[in-house]
Homo-oligomer: A and B are copies of this chain.
Amino acid sequence: MTVRIAVDAMGGDLAPDALVQGSIKAAAAYSDVQIILVGQREKLPAESTLPLNVVIEEAASVMAMDESVENLRKKRDSSIWVATKMVKEGRADAVISAGSTGAQMAAALLLLGRIPGITRPGICTVFPTLKGGSVLFDIGANLELEPEQYLQFALLGKVAAEMLLSRENPTVGLLNNGTEEHKGTDKLVAAHQLLKQSRLNFIGNYEAREIMSGNCDVIVTDGFTGNAVLKTSEGLARTLLSLLKQELTAGVMRKIGAALVMPGLKNLKEMLDYKKIGGAPLLGVNGISVVCHGSSDAETIKSAVAQTLKLYNSNFVEQLRKQAADFFNE
């Protein structure tokens, strides 16, 4: 069966080129996928020059990166609205965008709606760890969370760990500035109690220094902190690898040594390449909407398509709905 993915061709710093090229790469790499490039036809390649499984859907306008989300209601012809609407109408199975996250989230909320029991959707990523990755959730959709939302995100994150990382009875930790129960803001203290009383496999407060150990499958946090953790890691990894290269190539002996250890370094770099991760699913909405970083290049878009296929083929959203219904109706 062909999976139809609507790609917002106009969103992102490198749009439309990165989106078009990434879609073409993905269309060549994955069988049984059809990409629908949604955007301004005059800015896109002629459909006749595209592979057979890449088509175009016209959307006359664009939601700019820093445009107020309020404008979305008036811009029913914007690429993100049209792409998300295709999912609602059953003309596409998922939507991918590297444009304004706020607009993407609003379109998903308005058109696809929420999963019952979930107040607001969040953005979920798989963070690289020594044990094959952990779910970090939220990474930017909600700057602040209410105590019940931490609980909701813990449930969504648990399902993500099961489906995306094949974990059984995943452990859940609450990101906090200390492990003791009373740590953190009043909201975190209250969230801790809700998690403790739930039937999730809650292991307590979790500190950011432990994330990479991989000893916790799901790390729940507000979007502001999650974003800071992700960007700190990104910056540090980038800086360390460039420093390492500098250090390792200062002097002849080190240069020889560096040549010998290079395969090891490449493995390491691979593991920390955030581009390989691609997109991050918006969890909590009734459908698949995958958020890509604004600076995504063609390679990232290709990875995001791969990830979207995985989400679709695992019946991810159905599983979320089912588990949320069980959890909140108990």
CB proximity of A9 to chain B, nearest CB, Å: 23
B232→A209 contact, CB < 8 A: yes
Q: Is A263 part of the binding interface, using a Cβ–Cβ cutoff of 8 Å? A: yes
Q: Is A322 part of the binding interface, using a Cβ–Cβ cutoff of 8 Å? A: no
Stretch of A55-63, A90-98, A164-172, A242-250 with 4 or more beta carbons under 8 angstroms from chain B: A242-250
B-contact bits for A131-165, CB 8 A (1 contact / 0 none): 00000000010011000000000000000000000
Q: A273: which B residues are within 8 A, CB to CB? A: none
B239→A264 contact, CB < 8 A: no
Q: Cα distance A199–B256 when bound, in Å?
A: 51
B247→A254 contact, CB < 8 A: no
Choose one: B175, B231, B233, B254; the contact of A264 (CB below 8 Å): B254
Choose one: B180, B232, B244; the contact of A232 (CB below 8 Å): B232
Interface size in chain A (residues, C-beta < 8 A): 54
Q: Is A223 part of the binding interface, using a Cβ–Cβ cutoff of 8 Å? A: yes
Q: Is A177 part of the binding interface, using a Cβ–Cβ cutoff of 8 Å? A: yes
Choose one: B177, B213, B253; the contact of A235 (CB below 8 Å): B213
Within 8 A of B (CB), among A219-243: 223-225, 227-229, 231-240, 243
Q: A239: which B residues are within 8 A, CB to CB? A: 130, 212-213
Contacts A261-B257, A261-B258, A264-B254; is A210 near B235 (CB within 8 Å)? yes
Interface centre among A175, A212, A236, A243 (most CB of B within 10 A): A236
A143→B228 contact, CB < 8 A: no
A140→B177 contact, CB < 8 A: yes
Q: A236: which B residues are within 8 A, CB to CB? A: 212, 232-233, 236-237
Which residue of chain B is the closest to A139 with respect to CB atoms?
Answer: B177
B243→A265 contact, CB < 8 A: no
Within 8 A of B (CB), among A259-279: 259-261, 263-265, 267-268, 271-272
B250→A254 contact, CB < 8 A: no
Q: Is A38 part of the binding interface, using a Cβ–Cβ cutoff of 8 Å? A: no
Choose one: B130, B237, B257; the contact of A259 (CB below 8 Å): B257
A240→B213 contact, CB < 8 A: no
A-B contact pairs, 15 of them (CB 8 A): A140-B177, A175-B228, A208-B229, A208-B235, A209-B231, A209-B232, A228-B228, A229-B232, A232-B233, A233-B236, A244-B264, A248-B265, A253-B260, A257-B257, A260-B260
A-side residues, CB < 8 A to B, are: 66, 130, 140, 143-144, 175, 177, 180, 182, 184-185, 207-213, 223-225, 227-229, 231-240, 243-244, 247-248, 250, 253-254, 256-261, 263-265, 267-268, 271-272
11 additional A-B residue pairs with CB within 8 Å, beyond A144-B185, A208-B232: A209-B231, A209-B232, A212-B238, A224-B225, A225-B228, A229-B229, A233-B236, A247-B267, A248-B264, A256-B257, A257-B257
